Amino acid sequence: MNRKLSLSNIALLSVGISSMTCQAQAPAKPNVIYIYADDMGKGMLSAYGQRHFTTPNIDRMVTKGTSFDNAYGCMLSAPARASLLTGYHDCHPDKWVISRGGKFIPATDDLSSIPAVEKEINAEDILLGKGDYYLPQVFKQAGYVTAEIGKLEWGFTATRKQMKEHGWDYYYGYLDHVRCHGFYPPFLFDNGEIVTIEGNTHKNCGKSIENETETAYLERWNRNGKAVYSQDLFLDKILSFIRANKDKPFFLFHPTQLPHGPVAIPAVHPELANNPELTPIEKEYASMVKLLDDNVGAIMNELRRLGLDKNTILVFAADNGHETYYSQKGRCEKPYRNMQTGTLFDDYTDKYYSDLAGDIFNGNAGMAGLKRSNLDGGVHIPLIFYGEGIIPAGIKSQELVSNYDFLPTMAEMLQVSLPVKKDGISFLPTLVKGEKIPAGRYVVFGSNYGPGILTGEGWKLRYYRAKDVFELYNLKDDPQERHDLSGQYPEKVEKLKKILLKECDENIDNGINKAG
């Protein structure tokens, strides 16, 4: 079959034409590569205002593709991955289990205990019901080869049995997300096998000290037992997978470690080396973002070299809002505090803002809150689609979408019927034809504080469990969530509260995410 894809082919799919017509048109199946950045706020991209360094390859995706400026993930990486891969939001108690991390950090060099640990995790696992697809299974229904490379599944410790059950033909990376806090793994999982990485000797994968001190700086740059950087391994596997499957449709999911901390990078990027505005740890963190952007460029170049650039959709997104890993005394401190008053942020009476916290990068792009919060800085994410001749260029959509919409969107594109209704909706008509999402659209998300709900009209209701209060904001007028309107619009509060409670399966505490 001719696999060359055009925008008109996908548009035909989106309007639900008959199978006979589809067969006559012989629309091809585009490859799909999804890059899922870890803990990277929107403000870290130069396309969204980052001024201390550039991200030219991801910026190209924005200028030459379609970006969603009103996209939402989850407040933390594990539920965000689970939500993306299942098509459900994270306010249900019964769709997945997030296990405790660190279970694959061995006390000795003996890895023989791993199968027993996996057996314990599998015994407590929750699988979707019969006929209810995981994301890779949707692609497999359409005849795709599937692969996941990087920070695998939602963890915090996942198993090889789960990888197979969820529909991955190939996988490589970490199955333990606490081990992901180090970038020099002594072993990784390669399609069911445990493979050792020569020269990496630290059981904690070389995890560095987070808060900056002279001791922390020296420890980061001590290269003993840190021979091979994990992202270099991932890029090599990604390019190898693309080459091996260039003649068949594939779905490649790359959930990255970058730029999750603690900070670790083999070398400071040349663009940052002489920046007088940044401290050493800030240069190193920014270099992690730069490396991710460089890898996006390497993937684009390989697709072009293989002639796949006009038959591949490249997606870039993040799991949750920003987190700062470059804290140091008197600059941007943890625990997070107002650097002017010394007050700790509680995201209620004292909300986190970059200028108050001393974040020179403004990683959350001026929004309130960070990772773990139901303020927008914790859940608002970049979401960018790019594909020459496939995805419309230079479009910045304002339609409200969520990470749990991706699965239904791909199902519609591939004409795969979903036997079980998901929480997400397909935004394929918006992506390929610029159509508006029907009125009444809303998204929900959990957090450490409680759940939140946001409507397509910009109304946001958030629950703050510690005070047992609901706050109401109009994000179109107040994107920084500075003015609580709950007293002015009690009817709106009650209406949204009723919907939110229903989405939390009639228990508001289901939206209090205890994953981390």
| Residues 238 and 149 sit within 8 Å (Cβ to Cβ) | yes
Distances (CA, A) of 394 to 64, 67, 104, 500: 5, 8, 44, 34
Give backbone dihedrals phi and psi of 150, rounded to 5 degrees, phi first: 135, -125
For residue 53, the model assigns a pLDDT of: 98
444 beta partners? 453
Distances (CA, A) of 149 to 26, 72, 318, 367: 31, 23, 16, 31
Domain boundaries, the chain: 7-320+380-436
For residue 7, the model assigns a pLDDT of: 47
| Residues 511 and 450 sit within 8 Å (Cβ to Cβ) | yes
Instruction: Name the CATH superfamily housing domain 7-320+380-436.
Output: Alkaline Phosphatase, subunit A (3.40.720.10)
For residue 108, the model assigns a pLDDT of: 79
Tens of pLDDT along the chain (516 residues) come to: 345 444 445 544 444 333 322 322 223 699 999 999 999 999 999 999 999 999 999 999 999 999 999 999 999 999 999 999 999 999 999 999 999 999 999 877 889 999 999 999 999 999 999 999 999 999 999 999 999 999 999 999 999 999 999 999 999 999 999 999 999 999 999 999 999 999 999 999 999 999 999 999 999 999 999 999 999 999 999 999 999 999 999 999 999 999 999 999 999 999 999 999 999 999 999 999 999 999 999 999 999 999 999 999 999 999 999 999 999 999 999 999 999 999 999 999 999 999 999 999 999 999 999 999 999 999 999 999 999 999 999 999 999 999 999 999 999 999 999 999 999 999 999 999 999 999 999 999 999 999 999 999 999 999 999 999 999 999 999 999 999 999 999 999 999 999 999 999 999 999 997 665
CB neighbour list of residue 336: distance below 8 Å, 6 or more residues apart: 324, 344, 345, 352, 357, 370
